[in-house]
A and B are shown apart, each in its own frame.
Chain A
C-alpha cells in the first residue's frame, strides 16, 4: 500500500494500527502524558479549545479571505484550520500530506492560486502522490476543465486504484467530455472489485446510459438496488433505462415509485435547510485539518501530537467516529479506562444499534469498575444481538460480583455457552456455578473448559480448586 493510501486508510485499519502502537512502550508513555494534560480537564467549548491546542503559529491573515480581525465562530474556525495546516507543514516541511492539506485549506478559503501552487509542490516532491492529483483533478472538475480533471484523476486512479474517491469524479470528467466509453472502462475495473460501492455502480449505469447501452445501464442500477433497496438514484436510473428500451409500462411503475420518494426527499431537504448551520462548511474544514494532522503525525510515530488532534476532532464534531475509535484504543492501551469508557459511550450513542460498540463499552466500564454502566451496556448488547455469547458472558461476570444475583449469573453464563460453547464460556459457567454453590455443576463445566483448552493454566487451577472443594 502506498504511503498516501495509508494516510487515507479506513478507520478499521487505523484502529488496528492504533492497537499495535498501544502495545508498545511509547504508547504507554504517551497516555500518561495525555492523562496528565487533558484527561482530568473539564469539557470545554470547541472554539475555546483551539487557544490551548494550537497557539503556536500565528494565522497568516493575508491568506485568509474576510476580515483578519474576524473573531466570529466562522472566523475562528477558518483560522484554526489554517493554523493546523501551517503547523503541520512547519513540523513536516517535506511531507506531501501536510502540504496538500495546506493547499486544501487555502482552496477552501478561496486562495486558489496558493492552493494550486502547494498541490503542484506536492507533485514536485512526489510525482506519484495521489492526493495532489486528486485535489487538482477535483479543482479542475469544479472549474469545468474536464480535460485537466481527467488527466489528474486518471493519474490518481493509476496510483491507487482502490481509492474510492477517485473513480466517480474521474468518470464524471470523462462523461462530461462525451467520453462515456472510457468512463465505462475505468468504472468497470473498479466496480468489479467493489461490489458495494453504490456510487460507482450508479455512475457506471449513467455512463452506459450515455453510451446508449441501456440494458447494461439497467443491470448496473439493479445491482445497486439489490444492495440498497431505497436508492433513489438506482430507481430513477432503472426507469430511464427501461423507457429507453421501450418498456414503457415497467418504466412508469419505477417513475411512480421514484416520484413518491422524491416528494419525501423534498420535505427532508427543506427540513435540513432549516436546521443548517452557517459554519458547517468551515467546521468540516477544521475537522478535516485536524484529522489529517492526526493521521500524519500518527504515521510518523508522534502519537502524543496526534492525540491532541484526535481530541480536537472529538470536541469539534460530535458525530465523527474515527477519532473516537482511535482515542478509545489509545486510552485503553494506557489503561485509562475512565476516559476510554467515556469516549466509547459517545460511540455507542453514534451507533446505538451496534452490539459490538455496547459490548466494548461494557467491557471498558467493567475495567473502570462502573458496574451499573457495564450492566446497562451489556444488557443493551444482548437485546440487540441475542445470539451473541459475548454479552451474556460479560454480564454473567457482573452478576458474580459480591452482593449480586449469582443464580442470574448462572443463567447468563449458560446462555453464553449455548451461543458459543467455547472453553472460556464453559469456564465462566463453571465459575458462576461455583459462586451459586453448585459445586458439581461447576466441576463439570470447568472440566469441559480444561478439556477444550488443556494448556490454559487458569482453567486448570480453577478446576483443581473445585475438585478439592468437592471432596468429602
Chain B
C-alpha cells in the first residue's frame, strides 16, 4: 500500500471517530434548563414535541397508561384461518362513572384446546388522568375463548352496559350487575353452545319494542379439522374465506325477558350467506327503522333493509352497497357510518384488503355511490390491508375525519408482495372543506408513527377533555393508546342519549346539531368498525360557533310515531319554558370541581299541537349542585309530552327527561364545554323569536 493510501485511511478514521465523539457528546450532554422551552403543562406531549396550533396531533401514551394487555393470536405456525382476524375492542363506560373504559379481545391457543386461562380478554377501568386499572378478574369478564368481535349495550334496559363477545367457538353474553361486576348469562339467554366463527356484532332495535336485538355476523364455515394449508411462492400463508363455505349472519330477537330467540330465517337474514366481518346498524334511508349492513370478505356486501316491522330484505346491489365502482367483490373488513359531507344522510366507509381501494359509499337519498376516488378517501392505503376505521372530527372543524388501522395478515408478506409489510403505520385522513380527504398521518405527531399490525379500533373522549382519542388493538402485541393533543380553540359538544321509552342506549336515534351555519347529523350505533364498539356518546365539532342554534333528536319510537322529533332550540330567548345548561371550560373531573352553571334553558313549542301549554321557568345564574333536581315539572306539554325532570348528574352532565304521551320518559343528556367566552353572554346577545322545543306527531 502506498503512503498516500495509508494517510487517506488515517484521515478517514480520524474524521469518523471525531464525528462519533461529537454526536455522543451532543446526545449525553444535558441541556441547561434555561435552554429548554417551557411549554404549558397541558400542551407538553410525551414525545417532548409541541404540536403546532390547529394541527391534528396525537401522542402515543400507551407506555404510561398501565395497560399491560398483550393480544394473543393463537398462532402455532399452522396458519389457521382465524388467527390473523382477531380481534375487536370495546370502548364503553361499564360502571357509569363518566369515563370510558376499555375492553380488549384476545385470541387464544387453538390447538391443543385452550387450557391456559391466563390468556383472556381484559377489561381496563379508566381511573382518570390517563391511568387504567386491570379489573378483568373482579369484573368477571375474562373470557378465555378465541375473541373476534364485541359490542356493548344495555340489553336489559337496567341502566348499565352489558357485553356480547363473538368468538371462534360459542358467543358469550355478560350481563352487567350494576356494581362493577358482570355475570355470564349466555346459557340462560339462549346463546350458549353454538360453535361458529364469530365476527362483527351489532345491537339494535329491529322492531321498535324498546329491547335491543342482536345481529351476529359469521365469517365462514370453518373448523380446525377443515384447515387448508396454503403457500405463496413457497412461503406458508393463510387460506382465504373463499376456501371455505360461506355462512349467513344470525339475528337474535330480544324477547324482553332476558332471553333471545333466533329469528334469522323468518326475518330474512338467513337468506343470504356470506363471509361476514364488520357490521353496523343504521337508518340509511331515513324511514325510521334500523337497517343492517354486513361486510363480506371477498364477497358482495349485504344491506338488509328493514320493512319497519323487523323483517329484512337484502338490497345491497340495488342500493349500490354490494360492490365498489369496480363491480368486483373486495376483501371488505371494517365499516363506519357518519355524515361526512354534512348533507343529512349517513355515509359509510369500508376498509378492504391489500391492493384494493377502501370504499367510501356516499349516500344520495338512500342510494349509495362509490365516492372513494372523487373524495380521495384513503387512496394512499391501497397497498395495505385495512381493518378498523372510524369517522371523527379530531379538530372540531365541523367535518368528520377518518382514522384507518392497517397491517397485513402474514408476517412474511414482504417476501412475495413488496408493496406492503406486516407492520405498517395507521393513517389519518383529514376531511377538507373541498369535500376531499387528504392523508395527514405524517404531520399528526408521534402517535401516527407507531408501526404495528393493527386490527380493531375504538374512538372516544377518554379524558373528557372534549376531543376524540384513539385506542388500537394490535395483533399479537400490546395495544396503542393515542391521546389527542390537538391545539385548537374550536368548540365541541358531546351528547349522550338515555332512552326510557325506547332502548336505553338510544340506539338508532339520530341527532342533529346546528351551529355556526352548519348542521351535523349523527346516529347512535352499538357495534361498528372492525368488529368493535365505540362512540355511543355522540361528538360534534362546532368550529368557532359560540351558540348551538338547535339540537334535534329523532328517536326510533315506532310505537308512538315514526317521526317523533325532539327539537331543542338553544338560543331562542322567546317563550322560555325551561333551560338547557352549558358549561364554561372548567370541567375537570379529576379536581372534583362542580361546574358552574351559566345558563340552562329549554323552551318548548309543539308546532303541530296548538294545545301545547308553555310554562315559564327561569333558574337564574346560580350554580346547581350535582344531583340536584331542578324542577320535576319544568314544563308540560299536556298529552303531547312532559318534561319529567331536569337534573345534574354526578358527572356534571345535564339530564333532561322528556316523556312522550303516555310512555315512559326518555333522557336527553347534554354536556358541553367551551374553551373561551361565556355561553351566557353569547346567548343573551341573540334576540330571535321563533318556536323552539318541539315534539311532533306524538
Contact of B320 among A144, A209, A243 (CB under 8 A): A243
Question: What 0/1 readout, one digit per residue, does chain B (56-69) give for beta carbons within 8 Å of chain A?
Answer: 00000000000000
Contact of A178 among B234, B417, B436 (CB under 8 A): B436
CB of B508 within 8 Å of the partner chain: no
CB of B230 within 8 Å of the partner chain: yes
Are A244's CB and B323's CB within 8 A? Answer: no
Question: What 0/1 readout, one digit per residue, does chain A (204-242) give for beta carbons within 8 Å of chain B?
Answer: 001001100000000000000000000011001100100
| Given A110-B415, A273-B242, A74:B327 Cβ within 8 A | no
CB distance from A318 to the nearest CB of B (A): 20
Interface-forming stretch among A117-125, A274-282, A323-331, A456-464? A274-282
Are B416's CB and A178's CB within 8 A? Answer: no
Residues of B within 8 A of A60 (CB): none
| Given A66-B415, A75-B234, A107-B418, A142:B355 Cβ within 8 A | yes
Q: How far is the CA of A372 from the CA of B50 in the complex (A)?
A: 87
Are B234's CB and A74's CB within 8 A? Answer: yes
CB of A270 within 8 Å of the partner chain: yes
CB of B195 within 8 Å of the partner chain: no
Residues of A within 8 A of B329 (CB): 262, 266
Residue on B nearest A277 in the bound complex, by CB:
B231
Residue on B nearest A256 in the bound complex, by CB:
B317
Q: How far is the CA of A74 from the CA of B234 in the complex (A)?
A: 5
CB distance from A324 to the nearest CB of B (A): 26
CB of A176 within 8 Å of the partner chain: yes
CB distance from A130 to the nearest CB of B (A): 22
CB of A411 within 8 Å of the partner chain: no
CB of B497 within 8 Å of the partner chain: no
Question: What 0/1 readout, one digit per residue, does chain B (342-381) give for beta carbons within 8 Å of chain A?
Answer: 0000000000000101000000000101000110100111
**Which applies to chain B's interface (DSSP): helix, strand, loop or mixed?**
loop
CB distance from A269 to the nearest CB of B (A): 6
Are A110's CB and B325's CB within 8 A? Answer: no
Question: What 0/1 readout, one digit per residue, does chain A (23-35) give for beta carbons within 8 Å of chain B?
Answer: 0000000000000
Residue on A nearest B382 in the bound complex, by CB:
A144
CB of B111 within 8 Å of the partner chain: no
Are B381's CB and A66's CB within 8 A? Answer: no
Q: How far is the CA of A78 from the CA of B231 in the complex (A)?
A: 14
Residues of A within 8 A of B317 (CB): 255, 258-259
Beta-carbon contacts under 8 Å, A40-58 to B? none
Residues of A within 8 A of B380 (CB): 144
CB of B383 within 8 Å of the partner chain: yes
| Given A252-B318, A255-B318, A110:B379 Cβ within 8 A | no
Are A110's CB and B243's CB within 8 A? Answer: no
Residues of B within 8 A of A72 (CB): 234
CB distance from B103 to the nearest CB of A (A): 33
| Given A107-B418, A178-B376, A210-B373, A74:B318 Cβ within 8 A | no
Residues of B within 8 A of A255 (CB): 317-318
Q: How far is the CA of A278 from the CA of B416 in the complex (A)?
A: 12
CB of A143 within 8 Å of the partner chain: yes
Are B373's CB and A175's CB within 8 A? Answer: yes
Are A144's CB and B383's CB within 8 A? Answer: yes
Residues of B within 8 A of A266 (CB): 242, 299, 329
Residues of A within 8 A of B320 (CB): 240, 243
Are A66's CB and B240's CB within 8 A? Answer: no
Sample of 18 A–B contacts (CB below 8 Å): A65-B416, A74-B234, A110-B415, A110-B417, A142-B383, A143-B382, A144-B380, A144-B382, A206-B325, A233-B326, A240-B320, A240-B325, A240-B327, A258-B317, A278-B230, A278-B232, A279-B234, A281-B416
User: CB within 8 Å of B: which residues of A?
Assistant: 65-66, 70, 72-75, 78, 107, 110-112, 139, 142-144, 146, 175-178, 180, 206, 209-210, 232-233, 236-237, 240, 243-244, 252, 255, 258-259, 262, 266, 269-270, 273-274, 278-279, 281-282
14 additional A-B residue pairs with CB within 8 Å, beyond A107-B418, A258-B327: A66-B415, A74-B231, A111-B418, A143-B382, A143-B419, A144-B380, A144-B382, A175-B373, A178-B373, A240-B320, A252-B318, A255-B318, A262-B300, A279-B231
